[in-house]
């Protein structure tokens, strides 16, 4: 696994953890963002392929800090 893939996987896991902390489903998040559930699923599976503004919207909707989501894995 490349470093970029590892960072993407960690960011996706962190977004999903924030989703669980808020007790929201992917469909709930999609409604909050005005996006389709399929779009939300794609971003959660592969966040490296989306724009930083999209990740910021996800983080904001989940009450998460984008810097924490994108922080390098230790």
User: What local confidence, expressed as pLDDT, does residue 48 receive?
Assistant: 86
Count of CA atoms in the C-beta half-sphere (13 A) of 57: 17
User: What local confidence, expressed as pLDDT, does residue 63 receive?
Assistant: 95
User: What local confidence, expressed as pLDDT, does residue 74 receive?
Assistant: 64
pTM assigned to the model: 0.87
Q: In the chain, how long is the greatest CA-to-CA distance?
A: 33
Which tens digits make up the pLDDT trace of 17-67? 999 999 999 999 999 999 999 999 999 998 888 899 999 999 999 999 999
Neighbours of 60 (CB within 10 A): 13
Q: What is the CATH superfamily name and number for domain 3-70?
A: lambda repressor-like DNA-binding domains (1.10.260.40)
Extents of the domains making up the chain: 3-70
User: What local confidence, expressed as pLDDT, does residue 14 receive?
Assistant: 94
DSSP states along the chain? --HHHHHHHHHHHHHHHHHHHTT--HHHHHHHHT--HHHHHHHHH-GGGS-HHHHHHHHHHHT--HHHHHSPP-
């Amino acid at each position: 696994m490349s470093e970029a893939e590892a960072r993407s996987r960690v960011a996706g896991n962190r977004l999903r953890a924030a989703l669980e902390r808020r007790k929201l489903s992917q469909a709930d998040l999609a409604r909050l963002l005005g996006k389709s559930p399929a779009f939300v699923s794609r971003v959660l599976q592969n966040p490296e392929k989306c724009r930083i503004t999209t990740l910021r919207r996800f983080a904001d909707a989940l009450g998460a800090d984008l810097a924490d989501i994108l922080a390098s894995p230790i």
